[in-house]
Amino acid sequence: MTGPDAGLPNGPSLKPLLSVLKGERLSPPPLWLMRQAGRYLPEYRELRARKGGFLELVYDSAAAAEVTLQPLRRFGFDGAILFSDILIVPYAMGQDLWFEAGEGPRLAPVLAETPLDALKPDFSRFEAVYETVRQVRAALDPHVTFLGFAGSPWTIATYMVAGQGSKDQGAARRLAYSQPERFAAIIDAIIDATVVYLSGQIEAGVEAIQLFDSWAGSLAPLQFERWVIEPNRRIVEKLKAIHPAIPLIGFPKGAAEKLADYAAGTGVDAVGVDESVDPHWADRALPPGLPVQGNLDPLALIAGGRAVEEAVDNIRAAFAGRPHIFNLGHGILPDTPIAHVEALIRHLRQPESR
């Protein structure tokens, strides 16, 4: 087998993170951090200031590749996460995308007021991201696993319907209840675009995929089944049909007690656990042998010291009997001290932290 699906030999000595995704238990566990390429790094802030804005940075493939590689050079993580944004998918589906300073992303036209068929898809908007992947893969240390990603359909739909983020995802939830067929058509279109996008990332060189369902926790149980589990299951099924060797990590933030149903229903190869979940409960609730990822509280990392060490030891003890990738329970925060990240790595990788 050749091409990106073949990858490199995945023994623990070469690609620890990929080995864990394929079912191996390693001690210490491999490590990467969500949002590890970003605002807590001075080298990132300097480069973004020169480029003029977030989207400009994403669409400059050489700059985006540099941002992807920055935390690897500084910290020696076991995984590199592609530098991009989940809203590239609605942008390629035909919505305009921009970022308001201090307020976050905006999409237009909003689908709460505009029919889906008014959008004119342009999947060439994925090409700059694929070029970023190619450049990173060419420069990446052979021990590091390269992760691509996309937002899951429910989370993407919340932005497409409202045109921006919100505290309760109310606009999308209202539409899903009041016009489920219309909302289902939006979800279907997102699934199709996401499969195209992720397949392109894989063909360009990523070795594993993470599906971010950042707003999964806002849904009632029946809605969670319909708009989180089922759409992610379809993405997994479609991608596995094209790229059967690529592991998929599902991260349904806020899923809580629905986490086990998500794992069983979607067919993902690994599950990300957010910081609100007791790791000991997660270990009991999730299918035996399923790789897990997580789940240090990002605020504990800001606090540093004993707060981090105790949390790390608790998480490692909880997941000692299954394949485990150490990570945060959500993205690293911009005011995280770099020294605290360095201390986390030292503590995690010393044998006595078990």
Percentage, residues of the chain above pLDDT 70: 95
Q: Is the confidence at residue 6, as pLDDT, over 80?
A: no
Q: What is the model's pLDDT at position 351?
A: 67
Paired sense of beta strands 104-108 and 96-100, if any: antiparallel
For residue 237, being part of any structural domain is answered with yes
Cβ-in-10-Å burial (0-12, 13-18, 19+) of 351 comes to exposed
Q: What is the model's pLDDT at position 102?
A: 77
Report the number of distinct structural domains present in the chain.
Answer: 1
Mean predicted confidence (pLDDT) in 73-82: 98
DSSP per-residue letters across 201-268? HHHHT--EEEEEETTGGGS-HHHHIIIIIHHHHHHHHHHHHH-TT--EEEEETT-GGGHHHHHHHH--
What is the rounded end-to-end Cα distance, in angstroms, of the chain?
37
Amino acid identity of residue 230, one-letter, is: E
Q: Any idea which residue has 């489920």 for tokens?
A: 180
DSSP per-residue letters across 44-82? HHHHHHHH-SHHHHHT-HHHHHHHHHHHHHHH--SEEE-
Q: For residue 285, how many other CB atoms are within 10 A of its CB?
A: 14
Q: Is the confidence at residue 9, as pLDDT, over 70?
A: no
pTM, to two decimals: 0.94
Q: Any idea which residue has 């696993």 for tokens?
A: 145
Tokens representing residue 226 in the block:
């319909």
For residue 333, being part of any structural domain is answered with yes
Catalytic residues: 35, 39, 48, 85, 159
For residue 337, being part of any structural domain is answered with yes
For residue 302, being part of any structural domain is answered with yes
Q: Is the confidence at residue 58, as pLDDT, over 50?
A: yes
What is the rounded distance in angstroms from the CA atom of residue 286 to the CA atom of residue 191? 25
For residue 261, being part of any structural domain is answered with yes
Q: What pLDDT digit, counting tens, does each position of 186-245 carry? A: 999 999 999 999 999 999 999 999 999 999 999 999 999 999 999 999 999 999 999 999
Q: What is the model's pLDDT at position 52?
A: 86
Percentage, residues of the chain above pLDDT 90: 92
Q: What is the model's pLDDT at position 10?
A: 45
Specify whether the CB–CB gap between 191 and 199 falls below 8 A.
Answer: no
DSSP per-residue letters across 176-202? HHH-HHHHHHHHHHHHHHHHHHHHHHH
CATH of the domain at 30: 3.20.20.210
Confidence of residue 354 (pLDDT cuts 50, 70, 90): very low
For residue 6, being part of any structural domain is answered with no
Query: Domain range spanning residue 339?
Result: 16-353
Specify whether the CB–CB gap between 41 and 71 falls below 8 A.
Answer: yes
For residue 115, being part of any structural domain is answered with yes
Q: Is the confidence at residue 152, as pLDDT, over 50?
A: yes
For residue 7, being part of any structural domain is answered with no
Q: What pLDDT digit, counting tens, does each position of 307-341 carry? A: 999 999 999 999 999 999 999 999 999 999 999 99
Q: Is the confidence at residue 346, as pLDDT, over 90?
A: yes
